[in-house]
A = this chain, B = another copy of it.
Amino acid sequence: MADREDTPVKATATSARVIEALLELESATITELDDHLPHSKSTIHSHLETLEQLGFVVRDNWAYQVSLRFLEIGSVARNRYPLYQPGVSEVRQLATASGLVASLVVIERQRGICLYTAMGKKSDRSFGDPGEILPLHCTAPGKALLAVMAPENVDSIIDDHGLREYTENTLTSRAALDEELQDIQSRGIAFNREEWREDVRGIAAAVEGKTGSPAGAISVRSPTDTMSGKRFQQDIPGLVISSANRLRKALRSER
């Protein structure tokens, strides 16, 4: 976003900029896009027509929008993850057992990305849509993933993204984070105490891939009142850990 891209193929970058603008505006006409983009109307028109022919954009009269083709391709990208198939049933089971919202999170392009979310009985409406991006330093699955990564990779992620403060509980110093990661590493489980959003706590455990880099993390999350005391310290962590163990086993047997 901040970086001025220097891509070899400029026209593709322009098309991408158009798509990005469509995402921000949800739905837009050419003139609206003209205000948000450093290009002439005729240029925008060309790119929109191209993207429409290619199936990435749909138009309803004069309202252009991104198409569900992204969902289709995204689905393929998701199915590539060996963790996905076994992870889904595990997450579902975890959601049922805990009654909370359970998610499967992986790391890609230095970001935590939610692959799947299941909701238990008492979970409120959804957060954590597939594809949603989670910060790594202040969420349970994010920290769980960082804890099993090679230190130099953690370094470059923190260097690139910093430690943005979302709430007063967010760990914003590298030292504090490192200490916490140590703790997570030795205990095999990560906690989030309203470090990202007020009144949301989370618990997560990472599952290692074969390469040494993490394959993903399994997590639950809920408002603070349902996540405190023994439940937060022992019961739910127990469920998460055994889920992660089953997932590890499933991954091993599969390959």
B-side contacts of A16, CB under 8 Å? 54, 56
Contact B7 A50 (CB under 8 A): yes
Q: Is A244 an interface residue (CB 8 A)?
A: no
**Which B residue's beta carbon lies closest to that of A60?**
B211
Contact B109 A50 (CB under 8 A): no
**Which B residue's beta carbon lies closest to that of A11?**
B11
**Which B residue's beta carbon lies closest to that of A78?**
B71
Contact B7 A9 (CB under 8 A): no
Q: Is A67 an interface residue (CB 8 A)?
A: yes
A122 to chain B, nearest CB (A): 15
Docked complex Cα distance between A80 and B66 (Å): 9
Q: Is A131 an interface residue (CB 8 A)?
A: yes
Contact A71 B72 (CB under 8 A): no
B-side contacts of A11, CB under 8 Å? 9-12
Contact A76 B66 (CB under 8 A): yes
Known: A58-B108, A77-B66. A72 touches B19 (CB 8 A): no
- Taking the full assembly, how many copies of this chain does it contain? 2
Docked complex Cα distance between A218 and B9 (Å): 42
- 1/0 per position for A43-74, CB-CB distance to B under 8 A? 00011011101111010000001111111111
Docked complex Cα distance between A55 and B54 (Å): 19
A131 to chain B, nearest CB (A): 4
B-side contacts of A8, CB under 8 Å? 46-47, 49-50
A221 to chain B, nearest CB (A): 18
Docked complex Cα distance between A71 and B54 (Å): 18
B-side contacts of A15, CB under 8 Å? 9, 12, 15
Contact B66 A70 (CB under 8 A): no
B-side contacts of A129, CB under 8 Å? 75, 79
A59 to chain B, nearest CB (A): 10
A251 to chain B, nearest CB (A): 17
Q: Is A198 an interface residue (CB 8 A)?
A: no
A217 to chain B, nearest CB (A): 15
Question: Which residues of A line the B interface, CB within 8 A?
Answer: 5-16, 19, 23, 26-27, 46-47, 49-51, 53-56, 58, 65-80, 88, 106, 108-109, 113, 115, 126, 129-133
Q: Which 10 A-B pairs have the closest CB atoms?
A: A71-B74, A71-B131, A11-B11, A72-B131, A70-B74, A8-B46, A7-B50, A70-B73, A75-B131, A9-B50
